[in-house]
Amino acid sequence: MHGRTKAALGGFAAVAAVSLALAGCAAGTPSEQPTTGGETTAAGVTYMDMATGECAAPPLEGVDFEGAKAYLDSFSAQVDGLLTDEKLPEPITSDTLVVYLDNASPYSAMLAEFIGQAAKAAGAEYQSVNVGSDAQSINSGMNSVVTLNPDVVITFATDLTFWQDQYKALTDAGTAVVYAGNGNATEFGLNETFGTADASVVNGSVIAAAAIVATCGTATNFVYYPAPEIVASVDMLASYESYIKDHVPGATVRSVDISIMDTDGASKIVSDLQAHPETEFCSPSSDQWQIGLADKAKLAGITNAYCFGGISLPQNYQQIKDGTQVGTLAYDPTVQSWQAVDEGFRKLQGVFKDYDMDALIRLVALAVTQQNIDRVDISTGAFDALPGYQDMYLELWNG
């Protein structure tokens, strides 16, 4: 074992957590399609001018527009600090080994790089292990991880169902495990963190608040498009529907599955909106589906393609800037990665504390509209969630 402290992993309380993934649905071109410039449709719904945040009509009676707006605004502001200013009891030593479980996806590769940067900056050793995504490769890859005798293991996707024996071996040896990106964390006695089940509650609530705000509290018909292959996407539906109905009396919330593998999700959205002209706002769970949605909506002659979601691509940010997409919930993978390393170090030294869900997601997320699109590098989708975060973390780890 490398730089192991006397603190054991056992005994940590299960935490409440946050964060990963949503998606957005676009509007059309500024002059030809639904715009985000604040107009009233024949059905009577009024859309906010997303460039100014102004509404041309008041919310319907009983709609908690102000509550939804305050909640959404709290995810649009610049955070000014980390979740804690508590330093680690002991500095990170050079023989502390951090291992990341890479499932070979492009996003995982990006996280592997950022987690490595954080671990090395702290003075620790770092190794990324490709464990794949199927049961056989995960089992084989985790056997090799156990032989490394790591101090901290971090995963954002690798389902513990397939490496329970290795998990027991690791935790018996005192390894701290950061288990993100899976909805079954508490089933294995692990805390919830990024991308776990409780993350869906916050994410679903944020995009629901955006739906209420973008329609100035005048809409009552909403649709959510989950990707059935992604558990978090499906889980978000419950919190999305609950938030809408808690803030909009008498609201109708539909859901229609669209496969994450669908290469023409925009056409699926257009077909659904054509079949349901009463729908006033949509919230898809994959932003890739709305690329090209404006043109498809124009050809179909529909005027209800107003949407807000997440996991945007550069094309989506351009649409937001152009006013042809309402907005999105973006994530900063760099701060997310450094926070995951911080969680691992705190577990290793026995000082990890439960997350406040909203606070954790606010740390790494940004509700993007035309009003703050300038914070985003459109070519990459990157934004600086917390300027100077590296120095802040290093001060806590080795200050």
**Mean local confidence (pLDDT), 347-375:** 94
In angstroms, the CA 85 to CA 29 distance is 46
pLDDT given at position 396 = 98
Closest CA to 319 of 295, 341, 335: 295
270 against 285, higher pLDDT: 270
pLDDT confidence of residue 4: 46
Query: Cα 215–218–221 angle (5° rounding)?
Result: 80
Question: Would you say 155 and 181 are in contact if contact means Cβ atoms under 8 Å apart?
Answer: yes
Per-residue pLDDT at 7: 37
Task: Write the CA distances from 265 to 92, 165, 203, 387, integer angstroms.
Answer: 46, 39, 21, 35
Above pLDDT 70, what percent of the chain? 89
Q: Dig out the tokens for 232 from the structure.
A: 């978090």
Is a pLDDT exceeding 90 seen at residue 21? no
The answer on pLDDT for 26 being more than 70 is: no
What is the structure's pLDDT at 288? 81
Choose between 178 and 230: higher pLDDT: 178
Q: Which helix (H) or strand (E) holds 69?
A: helix 65-73
CB 352 within 8 A of CB 5: no
Using pLDDT thresholds of 50, 70 and 90, give the confidence band for residue 375: very high
CB contact burial 122-151 (16+ within 10 A = b; e otherwise): bbbbbebbbbbbeeeebbebbeebbebebb
Q: Which residues contact 28 (CB under 8 A, 6 or more apart)?
A: 34, 35, 293, 294, 295, 297, 298, 305, 324
Average pLDDT of span 358-371: 94
Tokens of 76: 């649009």
Q: Which amino acid is at 322?
A: D
Residues with Cβ within 8 Å of 236's Cβ and at least 6 positions away in sequence, in order, are 22, 200, 203, 204, 207, 224, 226, 285
User: Residue 70 — pLDDT band, cuts 50, 70, 90?
Assistant: very high
Calculated CA dihedral for residues 175, 180, 182, 185, nearest 10 degrees: 50
Q: What is the pLDDT of residue 276?
A: 96
C-beta atoms surrounding 154 within 10 Å: 27
DSSP label at residue 273: H
Taking Cα atoms as reference points, which of 286, 298, 229, 291 lies closest to residue 266? 291
pLDDT class for 357, splitting at 50, 70, 90? Answer: confident
The C-alpha atoms of residue 229 and residue 307 are separated, in whole angstroms, by 21
pLDDT above 60 (res 347):
yes
Question: What's the mean pLDDT in 39-46?
Answer: 68
pLDDT at 199: 84
The C-alpha R_g of the chain, in whole angstroms, comes to 22
SS (H, E, C) 128-196: EEECCCCHHHHHHHHHHHHHHCCCEEEECCCCHHHCHHHHHHHHHCCCEEEECCCCCHHHHCCCCCCCC
Instruction: Give the model's pLDDT for residue 5.
Output: 43
Ordered DSSP codes for 327-390 = EEEEE-HHHHHHHHHHHHHHHHTT---PPPHHHHHHHHEEEE-TTTGGGEETTTTEE-SSTTHH
- Non-local (6+) Cβ contacts of 63 within 8 A are 212, 217, 218, 247, 248, 249
pLDDT, tens digit, for every residue of 178-192? Answer: 999 888 898 999 998
pLDDT at 22: 32
Fold of 97-197+333-357+381-398: Rossmann fold (3.40.50)
Residue type, 193: T
Measured distance CA(249)–CA(252) in Å, rounded:
9
The residue-averaged pLDDT of 128-137 equals 93
Higher pLDDT, 334 or 40: 334
Mean pLDDT in residue range 76-82: 93
- The stretch 373-383 carries a mean pLDDT of 89
Instruction: Please compute the mean of the pLDDT values over residues 157-186 and round it to a whole number.
Output: 94
Q: Are 300 and 270 in contact (CB under 8 A)?
A: yes
Rounded to an integer, the average pLDDT of 207-221 is 98
Range scoring the smallest mean pLDDT among 15-29, 152-166, 262-276: 15-29
Global pTM value? 0.82
Q: Could you state, in order of their start, the residue ranges of all structural domains in the chain?
A: 97-197+333-357+381-398
